[in-house]
């Protein structure tokens, strides 16, 4: 793995300089890495401009969330006591594959810097004892995790703006998480979008933190009601709000064993 904190950005600004890197790379492992991943050179200027530790922190934050989702769906699909309707099972099998692919991608991007998978408790210390025995509880948690993921990726986008390649990958994952959230919400008989800060019928009170702030009707300092004829719930529904890292961790740590 390249240690981006030790790389001089100027070495990658011009194509000629990039070619010269191969001449300077005497270490076999470095040559192999550069040869096997030529796309990395094209993205290098944006990546190197970013603070490597900051990018790694964001990617590890995302990886922890993807670990959680991947493990949640994997355990659910293996649970003999959770009776997922046949009409819905293929949906969750596909979602699990997506989450597994996200984990693999983020681990590959981070290499040796990737955090280890935590040990999860999806009952949250007993708050959700039927997570893998009652389908409605499973659906409620799936909704909470997916809605959290959407807001979490949005909240970190600004921290990746100095790394074009990383930002693009994160936004690609973000859009898939949004599709997951929409389909899970519809399986629960809800709209595919969030109205105000309403968590939806049947959602445990402990999941309210996932939705707080979604009632916002001011964007970039502009009161939406002053520039559109849209009123009421439509104002908040038209925009999704980001969550900060601390807000996301407060939600996720409920399901991580200490």
Mean pLDDT of 5-9: 41
Cβ atoms within 10 Å of 241's Cβ, excluding its own: 18
Question: Do 243 and 152 contact (CB within 8 A), yes or no?
Answer: yes
Confidence tier at 49 by pLDDT (50, 70, 90): very low
3-state secondary structure of 56: helix
C-alpha to C-alpha distance for 44 and 11, rounded to whole angstroms: 10
Mean pLDDT of 26-52: 43
pLDDT at 89 > cutoff 80: yes
pLDDT at 191 > cutoff 80: yes
C-alpha to C-alpha distance for 132 and 121, rounded to whole angstroms: 11
Q: How far is CA 217 from CA 29, 46, 206, 208, in A?
A: 52, 34, 24, 19
Mean pLDDT of 153-162: 89
pLDDT at 65 > cutoff 70: yes
Compare 38 and 77 and report the one with higher pLDDT. 77
pLDDT at 6 > cutoff 90: no
pLDDT at 181 > cutoff 50: yes
Rounded percentage of the chain residues whose pLDDT exceeds 90? 69
C-alpha to C-alpha distance for 111 and 56, rounded to whole angstroms: 10
CA atoms within 13 A on the CB side of 36: 7
Mean pLDDT of 55-60: 92
C-alpha to C-alpha distance for 237 and 233, rounded to whole angstroms: 6
Q: What is the pTM of this model?
A: 0.78
């Amino acid at each position: 793995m390249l240690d981006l904190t030790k790389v001089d950005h100027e070495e990658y600004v011009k194509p000629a300089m990039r070619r010269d890197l191969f001449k300077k790379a005497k270490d076999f492992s470095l040559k192999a890495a550069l040869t096997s991943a030529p796309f990395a050179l094209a993205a290098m200027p944006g990546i190197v401009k970013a603070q490597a530790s900051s990018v790694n922190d964001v990617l590890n934050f995302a990886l922890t969330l993807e670990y959680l989702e991947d493990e949640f769906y994997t355990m659910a699909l293996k649970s003999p006591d959770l009776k997922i309707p046949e009409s819905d099972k293929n949906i969750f099998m596909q979602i699990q594959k997506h989450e597994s692919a996200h984990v693999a991608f983020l681990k590959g991007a981070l290499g040796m810097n990737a955090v280890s998978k935590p040990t999860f408790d999806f009952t949250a210390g007993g708050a959700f004892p039927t997570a893998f025995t009652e389908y409605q509880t499973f659906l409620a948690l799936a909704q909470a995790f997916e809605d959290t993921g959407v807001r979490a990726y949005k909240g970190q986008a600004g921290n990746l703006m100095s790394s074009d390649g990383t930002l693009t990958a994160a936004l690609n994952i973000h859009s898939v998480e949004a599709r997951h959230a929409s389909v899970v919400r519809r399986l629960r008989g809800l709209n595919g979008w969030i109205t105000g800060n309403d968590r939806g019928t049947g959602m445990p009170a402990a999941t309210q933190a996932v939705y707080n702030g979604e009632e916002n009707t001011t964007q970039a300092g502009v009161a939406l009601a002053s520039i559109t004829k849209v009123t009421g719930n439509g104002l908040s529904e038209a925009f999704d709000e980001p969550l900060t890292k601390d807000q996301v961790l407060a939600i996720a740590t409920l399901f991580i064993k200490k």
